[in-house]
Amino acid sequence: MDRKDFLKASLLGAGLLTFNPGLGFSNASRLKKVTILHTNDTHARIEPFPEESPQYGGLGGVARRATLVKKVRLENPNTLLLDAGDVFQGTPYFNFYNGALDFEIMSMMGYDATTIGNHEFDNGIEGFASVAPNAKFPFVSSNYDFGSTTMGRFIDPFIIKVLDGIRIGIFGLGVGFENLVLPELHRGVTYKDPVEVSKQMVRRLKNTHRCDMIICLSHLGYEYNHGQVSDSIVAREVDGIDLIIGGHTHTLLERPDIITKDSGRSTVIAQVGHAGVVLGRLDFYFNQEKKMVASQAKNTAVDERWT
């Protein structure tokens, strides 16, 4: 089975995956439902891959993704569309439009937030700042200190969204610059430890802003075998993050990874490969006291069905 057929078989036939169930769904009518749609590492993939592409032939494309997103929003208006970075670089569309087209399309699609990937520095600080006004959605990044750079004017450390009374805090984490971003391309921007920053953000979002759910948009990478800080490490070492939407390593997690700490609290990690060939979906259910009691996940291949 080639990669394309494997992808379709694993996603289209997967059905609904339930994790961390807190109760039976016979009581679902009394629960509040929040849907999270997510992408990562879309890398300027505007059109579907050519049919003859050996890995993802015929998959992807922003028009198809938009159709799928619209369908989900009609099912549940309480939906967020989030991205984990590396919107830039990968096709001639980036070479010509420098990311402006991607931001315009994401705005039309109604993205609620994205974080900063390492490739967002490919045209330098000023290159990002020149196209950022095309984005009608916020950028969140908590562990990059932007100092007085023009880039910093477009980026928030966190945002808060309220869906059906559920307060959702969203913050972002970026990968270290070493061996990824040339010093002259990120001059004036410094990297801070993601674990310590995450702990600070959880305290701030929980205690000051009274968030019922905390989401991290991470471009750290899912997991490494050499000790580099990753989503898995953040999930294990930081208590209070409910969901990490990951990027950078282009990892296709067919089902979310669940990290449970000694406190009994769990962190869900989700990542959907790259290039927009998959749209991730997670549904979270809250009781009347705004406590999360159940959750479900389903990834969907972005294919000809959504043309």
pLDDT of residue 27: 61
What's the pLDDT tens digit per position in 162-193? 999 999 999 999 999 999 999 999 999 999 99
pLDDT above 50 for 145: yes
pLDDT of residue 226: 87
Give the residue from 7, 21, 73 showing the smallest Cα distance to 272. 7
Structural domains in the chain? 111-277 (3.60.21.10)
Average pLDDT over residues 265-279: 97
Share of the chain above pLDDT 70, in %: 91
More confident residue, 254 or 271: 271
Torsion 125-145-81-257 (CA) sign: positive
Alpha carbons 105 and 124: distance in angstroms, whole number: 22
What's the pLDDT tens digit per position in 28-71? 668 999 999 999 999 999 999 999 998 899 999 999 999 999 99
pLDDT of residue 14: 43
Report the DSSP pairing between strands 213-219 and 243-245.
parallel
Do the beta carbons of residue 253 and residue 298 sit within 8 Å?
no
Share of the chain above pLDDT 90, in %: 87
Alpha carbons 67 and 60: distance in angstroms, whole number: 12
Average pLDDT over residues 286-299: 95
Query: How many secondary structure helices (H) and strands (E) does the chain include?
Result: 7, 17
What's the pLDDT tens digit per position in 206-234? 999 999 999 999 999 999 998 899 999 99
What's the pLDDT tens digit per position in 87-125? 999 999 999 999 999 999 999 999 999 999 999 999 999
pLDDT of residue 22: 44
Enter the pTM of the model: 0.93
- 124 CA to centre of own chain: 23
